[in-house]
Amino acid sequence: MERPLDALSALKGKEVNVLLKDGTNLTGKLEAFDIHTNVVLSNATSGSKKLDQIFIRGDMVTYIN
Amino acid sequence: MERPLDALSALKGKEVNVLLKDGTNLTGKLEAFDIHTNVVLSNATSGSKKLDQIFIRGDMVTYIN
Amino acid sequence: MERPLDALSALKGKEVNVLLKDGTNLTGKLEAFDIHTNVVLSNATSGSKKLDQIFIRGDMVTYIN
Amino acid sequence: MERPLDALSALKGKEVNVLLKDGTNLTGKLEAFDIHTNVVLSNATSGSKKLDQIFIRGDMVTYIN
Amino acid sequence: MERPLDALSALKGKEVNVLLKDGTNLTGKLEAFDIHTNVVLSNATSGSKKLDQIFIRGDMVTYIN
Amino acid sequence: MERPLDALSALKGKEVNVLLKDGTNLTGKLEAFDIHTNVVLSNATSGSKKLDQIFIRGDMVTYIN
Amino acid sequence: MERPLDALSALKGKEVNVLLKDGTNLTGKLEAFDIHTNVVLSNATSGSKKLDQIFIRGDMVTYIN
């Protein structure tokens, strides 16, 4: 792997987990991301809460796996 | 979807939910946004509080859905 | 509306409310703003405290309505 | 007024109040400022504490009035 | 050693420890990093929690060793 | 005075006080500074603690007087 | 001394103390640094904890002495 963002490219279209800086954990299908780690998930959930499609601001991301 | 901001373009003119970093939840019609995720909502409400048209500074946004 | 700052242009010369990140609420006439959301209000008040003309640093702004 | 910094230009040489993000309030004569809102005050005081000439880092400024 | 990032280059493919700003400690094989210290670990663990491959946003890193 | 940094130029070689954002107060001779307010003090002390020559990262500075 | 980073150049290869923003104190030999104050220490220790070679992200540095 050359660059960290290559890892996100490989995850596109797959189910991912996004941990936010406020401790919230979001799960959904990775639809899009950019170099700021702005992220769009579809069918997102946060625990039992359904969020459907969600745009997450990149500076709120702790990690994605 | 190519870029995360495409998700916001698709939401323009529709009812969205904006979660702020201080935990406030705002609901309203998405009138405008930019690459900093500065956002303008019309007919915005925060719980029972009516805020009408509101300009939200982008760095306060956690997510938009 | 094309860009979020257009909403602020439309408010120039009018009474606005500025919520700061420390929770302070300022009210006054919007005299000037820039792309950083640096803001100048005239006849500003914060609750019962009169602040006259005030320059607010943009990164302290949560929202303007 | 065209730009927010015009309000600071008009205050140069006058007594101003600077509220910092840590809640400290400084009063003194505005000697200089720049686009980052770095500020120099002369004869500055913070409550009963005399600080003489003081350089304040711009990112610590909440507002100036 | 010329530059700090040279130390990370030397660690590529090896087991590293990443301390995050929220106090979380992650261990795994260093797969990739960039100048923002965005980091990808494989076979990552956080205590007894298995995280597999993980993308860590650079601004969350305190140190890597 | 034209620019805020002129005030720091005038203090070079003199005893200054640097208040950090974590509330620490450092005293010493101002040896060097730059536009980020990175600062080097010699013979620095923090209360009764001797720190000799010290490099302070600019973003930690609240004010210098 | 012309610039603050000159003080770090003079410390290269010597034992230094790095205070982090979370209050952690690291001691070790200064192997490398850059303009962001990213720092690499060898034989680093934090109290009784041995960290060997460590890459510290620059924005976590409070001061180096």
Looking at the structure of chain A, the number of domains it has is 1
**Local confidence band at C53 (pLDDT 50, 70, 90 cut-offs):** very high
G8 touches chain F (CB under 8 A): yes
Q: How far is it, in rounded angstroms, from Cα B34 to Cα B58?
A: 8
pLDDT at res. F14: 98
D53 touches chain F (CB under 8 A): yes
Neighbours of A27 (CB within 10 A): 15
Q: Which residue has the tokens 């495409």?
A: B6
- Which chain D residues in 22-51 lie under 8 Å from chain F, judged by CB atoms? 22, 26, 31-34, 38-40, 44, 51
Give pLDDT tens digits for D34-44.
Answer: 999 999 999 99
Residue from A50, A48, A32, A44 nearest A58 by CA: A32
Cβ(G23)–Cβ(G8) under 8 Å?
Answer: no
Cβ contact G40–E7 (<8 Å)? yes
Q: In terms of CA atoms, which chain C residue is nearest residue B24? A: C62
Q: How far is it, in rounded angstroms, from Cα F12 to Cα F2?
A: 17
The four Cα atoms A62, B3, B5, B6 give a dihedral, to 10 degrees, of: -140
Selecting from B26, B34, B57 the residue whose C-beta is nearest the C-beta of C3 gives: B34
C19 touches chain D (CB under 8 A): no
Cβ(D57)–Cβ(D41) under 8 Å?
Answer: no
Tell me the three state secondary structure of residue A45: strand
**Local confidence band at D1 (pLDDT 50, 70, 90 cut-offs):** confident
Q: How far is it, in rounded angstroms, from Cα F18 to Cα F46?
A: 10
Beta bridge partners of G28: G16
Domain with C13, as residue range(s), is 4-64
**Local confidence band at B1 (pLDDT 50, 70, 90 cut-offs):** confident
Cβ contact A32–B1 (<8 Å)? yes
F59 touches chain D (CB under 8 A): yes
Which residues lie below 8 Å from residue B48, measured CB to CB, with a gap of 6+? none
What number of H helices and E strands is found in chain G?
1, 5
Rg (chain A; Cα; Å): 11
Q: Which of A57, A64, A65 to mutate to test the interface with E (most CBs of E within 10 A)?
A: A65
Which residues lie below 8 Å from residue D32, measured CB to CB, with a gap of 6+? D12, D39, D40, F1, F2, F3, F4, F6, F7
F56 touches chain G (CB under 8 A): yes
Residues of A in contact with E52 (CB under 8 A): 65
Cβ contact F65–D57 (<8 Å)? no
Q: Could you give the ipTM of this predicted complex?
A: 0.95
CATH label of the domain that carries residue G37 = 2.30.30.100
Give pLDDT tens digits for E3-41.
Answer: 999 999 999 999 999 999 999 999 999 999 999 999 999
Cβ(G8)–Cβ(G46) under 8 Å?
Answer: no
Which residues lie below 8 Å from residue A51, measured CB to CB, with a gap of 6+? A26, A28, A41, A44, A45, B63, B65
Give pLDDT tens digits for C55-64.
Answer: 999 999 999 9
Which of F41 and E1 is assigned the larger pLDDT? Answer: F41
Q: In terms of CA atoms, which chain B residue is nearest residue C65? A: B54
Cβ(F52)–Cβ(F10) under 8 Å?
Answer: no
Cβ(A37)–Cβ(A61) under 8 Å?
Answer: yes
Selecting from F3, F21, F64 the residue whose C-beta is nearest the C-beta of D32 gives: F3
pLDDT at res. C1: 85
- The shortest C-alpha distance from C44 to chain D (Å) reads 10
**Element housing F43 (H / E):** strand F39-46
Residues of F in contact with D26 (CB under 8 A): 63
Cβ(D61)–Cβ(D37) under 8 Å?
Answer: yes
How many residue contacts between E and G have a Cβ separation below 8 Å?
A: 53
Residues of C in contact with B32 (CB under 8 A): 1-4, 6-7
F64 touches chain D (CB under 8 A): yes
Selecting from C24, C31, C55 the residue whose C-beta is nearest the C-beta of D64 gives: C55
Cβ contact A2–E56 (<8 Å)? no
Cβ(F42)–Cβ(F53) under 8 Å?
Answer: yes
The percentage of residues in chain C with a pLDDT greater than 70, rounded to a whole number, is 100
Selecting from F3, F8, F62 the residue whose C-beta is nearest the C-beta of D34 gives: F3
Kindly state the tokens that stand for A40.
């769009």
pLDDT at res. E1: 85
Residue from B15, A54, A17 nearest E56 by CA: A17
Kindly state the tokens that stand for C25.
């609420």
Rounded to 5 degrees, φ, ψ at D8 are -75, -35
Q: Which residue has the tokens 């010329």?
A: E2
Q: How far is it, in rounded angstroms, from Cα G55 to Cα B59?
A: 28
